[in-house]
Structure 1
Amino acid sequence: MLRTLIAASFCIMPSSVSAQTMSAEDIARQIDERMKNLNPYEELLQDPDPSRRVAAMQIMLESGDRDLVRIATEYGLMAEDVVVQKAALAGLLESEPVLTMMLDASDADLRGWTNTLGGTATPEGFHYYRFDMTGYLEDELCYAQSKAPSSCFITLNSDGIFVEFRRGTGSDFARGKMQITTDGRLEGPLNLDGVSEPVTASIRLFE
């Protein structure tokens, strides 16, 4: 019985595949059609004029629309121009996102920091902290987060991208200089008071 069913399936297969097969010309026509129907927002971000591309990105970031913010953020952060990258990051931070920082601390004891900040840790030594961004501090020229709404958390300037936060209400600070990676993260060494060696910090900016 099994052999009969297998044989029957092979008899049916050629006509089924033949009915579904598309010619190269058919595929080419569909590609052309899809290219004509590019996402209109992507078209704005691909404008030949660099100033119009940046303006489109900034307007989309300021729109408050989650989908537009995501499209503009991905475009800006993946750009080769550092100025465009920083503009995209600034726009994202002004939208007050929730950011998760991961610390790779397999060789360091961060239990005190993690307990105070209400973070979580894995057996492998990865520590996760949540930061709810609260907007731009005009006087300090930086971006704050809810655990310390009047203090700098992320600073963007001509020297780079810097992260700084306090361990609770104590005198211990964490400080580091970050870079935007090719897969859309802020990453760099973080120095924490009371911890002998820097640990690698990473903040994913989009999925």
Structure 2
Amino acid sequence: MTGPTIGVLALQGGVREHLEALEAAGAIAVPVRRASEVAAVDGLVLPGGESTTMSNLLLAFDLYEPIRQRLAEGLPAYGSCAGMILLADEVLDTRPDAVSFGAIDITVRRNAFGRQIDSFEADLAVTGLEGDPMRAVFIRAPLVERVGDAVEVLATVAEGPAAGRIVAVRSGQVLATSFHPEMTGDRRLHRQFVDLVAQRG
């Protein structure tokens, strides 16, 4: 039995790492650069990168509206770091011309950890993941400032300067993290997303 076809938005950022992680988690992983490719996938990953650059490229490549429409129709999506910013309903500390999809009812602040902590790693207990805590890599990560009533908090930072901060959320078919699970060998979060897409299928 083949897994679901999951696209990775391939305009900028950590595309290859997500493709490899999704394949390892049992999906058929494909890069997405065109509207026709958006239409053909069962789920979509929005990778880390530079969110304002990705916003500009979404508009330049006429991808913003096709993705927004599919998300509105219930397409499962997972965003890591910049991908979380793109999925958010409200983004703070961004350029006025930047776009986001409003696919999950959260408010995020860009580069929230950057000035305070820069890049760091932390062990996280993530709801729904069995076994040991997940080692999470944060690189100029966004911070979740607010979650809506329908949003489930999956993980918060346990200790250090970022203690108590929300770094993983889910609402229905949409999953988002401040950190980069694609940068470690731990595929549990990608498997969780692949399973979510397959169950919807």
Q: For this structure pair, what is the TM-score category when the shorter chain's length is used for normalisation? A: under 0.3
Which structure exhibits the higher relative contact order, with contacts defined as CA atoms closer than 8 Å and separated by 6 or more residues? 2
- Greater Rg over alpha carbons, structure: 1
Greater per-residue helix proportion: 1
